Structure 1
Amino acid sequence: MVILSFFKKIFTPAEQVKPAAPLVKIYPRPEHCISRSQISENALKVLLRLKKANFEAYLVGGCVRDLLLGREPKDFDVATNASPEQVKQIFRNCRIIGRRFRLAHVFFGREIIEVATFRGSEPDEADQHVVHEDGRLLRDNVFGTLEQDVWRRDFTVNALYYNIRDFSVVDYTGGMLDHQAGILRLIGDPAIRYREDPVRMLRAIRFAVKLGFTLHPDTEQPIHEYAELLKSIPSARLYDEALKLFLAGYGLQTFEMLRHYGLFAILFPASDKCLETLEHDFPRLFLIKALENSDRRFADGKSLTPYFLLAAMLWEPLQIAVKKQLDRGENETIAYQNAANEILNNQIKITAMPRHITQAMRDVWFLQNKFSKTTGSRPYRLLEQPKFRAAYDFLALRAETGGADPQLVTWWTRFQDGDDEQRQKMTAPPKNASGKTRRKSSRYRSKAKQADVE
């Protein structure tokens, strides 16, 4: 019901969406709710020192949007007419970064205040404005004015500027009205803006879900047409975007919305194919359960490990690949290794997962079959594995959706919590009819030992 009500809000008919005001409007302090007490002390230092040096200085972007919603911003970004080099002269604790667009990072311990020079619309002799033949911006070091900077931002609600000089909010795009109406609207021609940077489609989904806003029809309609443009984005950037999409506490709603617009198929094609072709509902239920689990952990303030959710995303494609390997006559161990290599190699081309992430995914996957070995020393050795707890949670998740034996989960829960005596009883070999422990033949023991090595 939550998802259905969410989608009713997202897909608002065009006639119900009010147009944004086209003229600039200044909202003085009495007409908005942003207070300096809500702003990071370090961000205020940056704003005030830029002001003292006679530069323009504004809070801009997500921090202003979130402050207006009464939320605590994760980051505070500053826009100014000072160049990165001038910012560095003012702040010794500053570092200039970026190639596509140079930025100044001012460091205050662990907190970083990002300071961006206003972007312009026309290149000059010193700067570069390079566009790929498909419309993507490859490099963009054109500096400009506040009025020009506004139109280079993505969404109207992200183009609100908090002025430190008089504490007003400056709005050139009707972002305040869209903010009040709960509408997410691209600035400019959506077709051009999506071609400039296809990742804006993912950002549109992420912000709509996070804020509970409605996609404006003009912003929504081109997504289906331009989804394929995401294939041109570097895999490392898509990996970072995937983490933002699924590990911010709104993973399940984001997943449903990405699937609706055909974007999930671009990010995880093997997983999407399983969801489309399999007749039974296990893969979908398992993935939904994994997303629900991550969202719940986020809400409880617990840490999230990307490898766990990614392992769940690719679990069903892995099972299909394993079956193909087994049908070719491979033994189970080799089948899982070959299948994991195939699935991960294909996915890395799309979302460049780091090696430590893919290795952790392998560990979680490969430990699943070992849970069925509950006698002798094997359970003890499994308990000592670094990824045991994650693998156990993965097994429990599978059991909840019919992919594993719930009694096996119960056994491992008791084994973890039991004392030495209880564990010895649980792992004792089965007895024969005479009450004596059955001994395996030397040949069988040799095979079991070899399996343990593998």
Structure 2
Amino acid sequence: MPRSEHSISREDISANALKVLYRLHNSGYQAYLVGGCVRDLLLGEHPKDFDVVTDATPEQIKGLFRNCRLIGRRFRLAHIVFGREIIEVATFRGHHEPQATEDKAGKKTTSHLNQHGQLVRDNVFGSIEEDAERRDFSFNAMYYNIADYSITDFANGQDSLSKREIRIIGDPETRYREDPVRMLRAVRFAAKLGMKIEENTAKRIPELAPLLANIPAARLFEEISKLLLSGSGLKTFHLLDEYKLFGQLFPQLQPFLDNPEGREFKMLEKVLSNTDNRINSGLRITPAFFYAACLWFCVEERQQQHIAEGGLPPFDAFNLAITDVLAIQMQRIMIPKRFTTPIRDIWHLQQRLNRRLGRRAYITLEHPRFRAAYDFLLIRAEIEGGELIELAQWWTEFQSASPSKQKKLQSDVRNSEGFQDRRRPKRRPKKPS
């Protein structure tokens, strides 16, 4: 498509991406925008990232940019750093062969498939035509050429955009086995772009969903953030559940997914709905809150198991349950410590919120995670009802009340619970004999 036949303007492209494209082009290399940024620009959206592809090798790219760093083991990439913006530059990928091949510089390049058909090493360079065949979905195989501002559409991506459908390039089973994360990406695009997954692309997903167990846990943390914490989490969750993918990501929640009326399922829907509302209103969110809410009932269930089977006191059983649940989850999704610490705090505060007398209430109120724990209590009250509703209302009043009103609220708790003062009475002085 020449410039006159498409809607992409250089005014809509990041200035830093243009710098990279022009320097590569002026140095004698091919340079294209590719993937999601081209797709989003054609849809009239504003891309968050601009990805560049070229026939220059990673080492040649690094030689052109002082602000370049090379990353990646499975496939080498160049990151050109402009302050907070990073322009990712990849070399055209070629078809993987069982034996080593040589790139243009005469350097050996290799690929490797494991026993499941998954690509674990993919440093094979090729032509733009080969690169297009290696792309995942048809609308991601459109290339914007900085040389003449044209777009080359290798896989009828424009047709997919007009039909609002997601269609994988090549044989679905082979492509999903090469990289099982493509199943998650299909769902993410369907939710984010309001599209449907084309029948042939969709039908093998439930059967191949267990392949996600082969993906490194650290990589899945980033994918979950894109899936569920980007403003369309509730719709994404329902699609993940439909295609049997959610239980692969959260194995401890698998038993609860068959009961949409259960409290566990409703908790997932509620926390994702609230998260979407916050993101779409421009408010901040933290993955810690999402994971704390998702796994809360798993912690409660595990605590009861420790009490019943080991005879542990509730406090010790609760601490052990937290450790167990996080350990099991991190076998599938590696949650960084900067999030596991607040997750633990939110859970521990659910216990402390029940203790409302004396200084304990004020100490809890001053805790740095109080607000997150209180917000979670509100969701629990809405889902579970019962005594949690009264507890949530009490904390709602207490945190904004005057000192005299706070004392009155504590007095009401003392009276309603039939609290007896356990302090030892003062001893009367002995009468002189």
TM-score greater than 0.5 by the shorter chain = yes
**Is 1:361 matched up with 2:335?**
no
User: How is 1:28-427 mapped onto 2 (pairs within 5 angstroms)?
Assistant: 28-122=2-96, 123-125=100-102, 126-276=108-258, 281-328=262-309, 329-403=311-385, 405-427=388-410
Cα pair 2:92 2:131 within 8 Å, conserved: yes
Structure 1 residue 163, shift from structure 2 partner: 0.8
Q: Give CA deviations for 1:382-435 in whole Å, capped at 9, x if unaligned.
A: 0121211100000001111224522221211111112223223323477779xx
Find the aligned partners of 1:416 and 1:431 in 2 and give their Cα distance. 18
Q: Give CA deviations for 1:159-178 in whole Å, capped at 9, x if unaligned.
A: 11011111111011111111
Cα pair 1:274 1:316 within 8 Å, conserved: no
Structure 1 residue 197, shift from structure 2 partner: 0.8
Q: CA, structure 1 residues 148+385, in 2 after alignment: closer, same or farther (shift >3 Å)?
A: same
Find the aligned partners of 1:400 and 1:231 in 2 and give their Cα distance. 34
The one-letter amino acid paired with 1:101 is: F
Cα pair 1:376 1:429 within 8 Å, conserved: no
The one-letter amino acid paired with 1:94 is: C
Find the aligned partners of 2:235 and 2:62 in 1 and give their Cα distance. 41
Find the aligned partners of 1:320 and 1:363 in 2 and give their Cα distance. 18
The one-letter amino acid paired with 1:119 is: R
Length, aligned pairs only:
413
Q: CA, structure 1 residues 431+275, in 2 after alignment: closer, same or farther (shift >3 Å)?
A: closer
Cα pair 1:118 1:148 within 8 Å, conserved: yes
Q: CA, structure 1 residues 57+177, in 2 after alignment: closer, same or farther (shift >3 Å)?
A: same
Root mean square deviation of aligned Cα: 1.9
Q: CA, structure 1 residues 192+430, in 2 after alignment: closer, same or farther (shift >3 Å)?
A: closer
The one-letter amino acid paired with 2:175 is: R
Runs of 4 or more, structure 1, over 6 Å off, are 429-433
Cα pair 1:137 1:196 within 8 Å, conserved: yes
Find the aligned partners of 1:308 and 1:360 in 2 and give their Cα distance. 8
Of 69-78 and 317-326, more deviation after overlay is shown by 317-326
The one-letter amino acid paired with 1:217 is: E
Structure 1 residue 438, shift from structure 2 partner: 5.1
Find the aligned partners of 1:155 and 1:228 in 2 and give their Cα distance. 21
Q: Secondary structure at the match of 1:276?
A: coil
The one of the two structures with greater contact order (alpha-carbon pairs below 8 A, sep at least 6) is 1
Q: Give CA deviations for 1:211-242 in whole Å, capped at 9, x if unaligned.
A: 11111111101101111111111111122211
Q: Aligned residue for 1:448?
A: none
Q: Give CA deviations for 1:77-103 in whole Å, capped at 9, x if unaligned.
A: 001111112212221111111121111
The one-letter amino acid paired with 2:399 is: Q
Give percent identity, aligned residues only: 48
Structure 1 residue 129, shift from structure 2 partner: 1.1
The one-letter amino acid paired with 2:125 is: F
TM-score normalized with structure 2 length = 0.91
Instruction: Give ranges in structure 2 of 5+ residues lacking alignment.
Output: 103-107, 426-433
Q: Aligned residue for 1:452?
A: none
Find the aligned partners of 2:76 and 2:173 in 1 and give their Cα distance. 26
Of 73-82 and 124-133, more deviation after overlay is shown by 124-133
Structure 1 residue 30, shift from structure 2 partner: 2.0
Cα pair 2:241 2:257 within 8 Å, conserved: no
Find the aligned partners of 1:430 and 1:67 in 2 and give their Cα distance. 59
The one-letter amino acid paired with 1:293 is: N
Q: Give CA deviations for 1:175-206 in whole Å, capped at 9, x if unaligned.
A: 11111211111111111001111111111111
Cα pair 1:79 1:115 within 8 Å, conserved: yes
Cα pair 1:251 1:291 within 8 Å, conserved: yes
Q: Give CA deviations for 1:132-185 in whole Å, capped at 9, x if unaligned.
A: 121111111111111111011101111110111111110111111111211111
Find the aligned partners of 2:201 and 2:258 in 1 and give their Cα distance. 26
Q: Secondary structure at the match of 1:113?
A: strand
Q: Aligned residue for 2:431?
A: none
Q: Secondary structure at the match of 2:257?
A: helix
Q: CA, structure 1 residues 101+428, in 2 after alignment: closer, same or farther (shift >3 Å)?
A: same
Cα pair 1:84 1:104 within 8 Å, conserved: yes
User: How is 1:419-438 mapped onto 2 (pairs within 5 angstroms)?
Assistant: 419-428=402-411
The one-letter amino acid paired with 1:73 is: P
Find the aligned partners of 1:291 and 1:65 in 2 and give their Cα distance. 27
Q: CA, structure 1 residues 442+195, in 2 after alignment: closer, same or farther (shift >3 Å)?
A: farther
Q: Secondary structure at the match of 2:19?
A: helix
Q: Give CA deviations for 1:1-50 in whole Å, capped at 9, x if unaligned.
A: xxxxxxxxxxxxxxxxxxxxxxxxxx111221111110001111111111
Find the aligned partners of 2:140 and 2:252 in 1 and give their Cα distance. 34
